[in-house]
Amino acid sequence: MNHTPSGAPRGQGRYGQGWLDSKGRNETQVREEVLELLWTLREAGKNRLDEILKSSTEEDLEEILGAMERDGWIGVQNGR
């Protein structure tokens, strides 16, 4: 079983360690690609959550963004 640094167990589901998406990417790879997407969209002036969700075909993007925010990878305030 995988544990967080505090010793708490980590989930093995879609947003825990040990999964691959339909393209064979692991969690870190997916998150890095989402970060690239966010950077590219921000440079194009798109930084609202609804614009980001409409601009991507990434599976479960809203859930991935939520997990990234929860884990401190990104910050979302007022839908941006």
Condensed to tens digits (0 to 9), the pLDDT of residues 7-46 reads 334 444 555 556 788 888 888 899 999 999 999 999 999 9
Count CB neighbours of 11 within 10 A: 11
Domain map of the chain by residue range? 27-70
Question: 63 — alpha (psi -120 to 50), left (phi > 0) or beta?
Answer: alpha
pTM, two decimals, is 0.71
Using one digit for the tens of pLDDT, what is the confidence trace for 45-79?
Answer: 998 999 999 998 888 899 999 999 999 999 988 87
